[in-house]
Amino acid sequence: MRSPEAQQAVNEQTKNLCLYHYASCWFCGQVRSVIGKLSLDIELRDVLTEPQNRQTLIEQGGSSTVPCLRIENPDGTEQWMYESSDICEYLIGRFT
């Protein structure tokens, strides 16, 4: 468990992340589980209940595959990470 100050710092870092997902996707559930275990405040964008999220994923990320973590880099560029195992590894490595 983090101190309130450390959690606030993590929350600042997660403002540049969002996860494209849908509720019944098993692989998405794995990523959401890691997000919960690490107490990360990452915006979740459902691609089934909000069609515009799916469209954004296709247009900007290049694929409709979920889960997908959008990472906005400090220089303004974006990275779109599609494999659940890669996403989990990235989050664990960055936030533990």
Any idea where the domains of the chain sit in the sequence? 4-95
Topology given in CATH for the domain delimited by 4-95: Glutaredoxin (3.40.30)
> Average pLDDT for residues 41-53, to the nearest whole number?
97
- Output the pTM of the full model: 0.94
pLDDT at residue 1 tops 90: no
Q: Cβ–Cβ contacts within 10 Å for residue 67, how many?
A: 24
13: Cα within 13 Å, side-chain hemisphere: 12
Contact between 1 and 33 under an 8 Å Cβ cutoff? The reply is no
pLDDT tens-digit series, residues 71-85: 999 999 999 999 999
Please name the amino acid found at residue 40. Answer: L
pLDDT at residue 38 tops 90: yes
Contact between 84 and 30 under an 8 Å Cβ cutoff? The reply is yes
pLDDT at residue 34 tops 90: yes
pLDDT at residue 66 tops 90: yes
